[in-house]
Amino acid sequence: MNAYAAWDITVGSPSVRVAIVDTGLDVGDPAYVFPDYTGHEDIVSCQTPIVQSFVSGETGNDDNGHGTHVSGTIGACTNNATGVAGANWQVQLMGVKVLDYSGSGSLSAVASGIRWSADNGAKVINLSLGTSSPFKTLERAVNYAWNKGAVLACAAGNDGTGARTYPAAYTNCIAVAATDENDAKADFSNYGASWVDVAAPGVNILSTMQDQWDWCFLCYGYGYLEGYDALSGTSMATPHVAGLAALVWARGECTTNACVRAKIESTADPIAGTGTYWKYGRVNYLGAVN
């Protein structure tokens, strides 16, 4: 994606807030038997994250691992000789918990999380989640955030079909498909140039996971490693686009979300499948920020 060259121009800004509407963010638990006061967020982000929960009885702390992984791709503390590189080195992350420990959640919680993010200064909202039904509640929340000035990056889904997933298929979302290390469409990725906008890497993406002090559903239930591991999915492709949107905002040449979106889409590389699997191509960081 030419990220290294793009970082010669900008590495992001703490004045840009990116909301990850997901399973939360690893922020630690002071009440744990062995106190985990800092959690993993000092590695997930160079800036202290903002957290909010819309799951009854749960804090904004991630107890699944998915949200922490997505967050690391967007904003892992970078150039510190530790772990992985995030798209933004200094971005302000907002961990908005709308899904419980198992990755399930209500439509109302997701919609509330989107609205809260927009009301609290998110310039970018990452939605690595979806449903097969075009619920109006969800669409209204997406439109609300867009009208507040946010760019929304949304996962196209992992069914390997042309079936539309929501919120990705809504007009005011950038729908993101996944590509592999050969720049080809990932087998699992949903597709369709009539509704999928761009593609980004989504196979074996290494990023941050919950640390050893906190419950991690994906770790204990599915064998993923604590600390760091590689996951695949359009959920992993989407934060590459959300991270790029934050870099474009930080560059300072755009004052509207429409401008940011246009920069991302118009500079995407027309790799194989463009015009069939997705409309614009695989995102190019350097092209978008240059």
**Could you list the active site residues?**
22, 66, 235
Q: Where does residue 104 rank: exposed (0-12), middle (13-18), buried (19+ CB within 10 A)?
A: exposed
Neighbours of 10 (CB within 10 A): 20
What CA–CA distances, in Å, run from 124 to 18, 31, 193, 265? 5, 32, 23, 15
Cα 84 to chain center, whole Å? Answer: 16
Burial call 61-74: b when 16+ CB within 10 Å, e when fewer: bbbbbbbbbbbbbb
Q: Where does residue 82 rank: exposed (0-12), middle (13-18), buried (19+ CB within 10 A)?
A: exposed
Measured at the CA of 155, the angle between CA 68 and CA 236, to 5 degrees, comes to 40
| Residue 163 in tokens | 């079936």
| Residue 253 in tokens | 């040449």
CA 74 – CA 167 distance, rounded (Å):
20
241, 288 contact by CB (below 8 A)? no
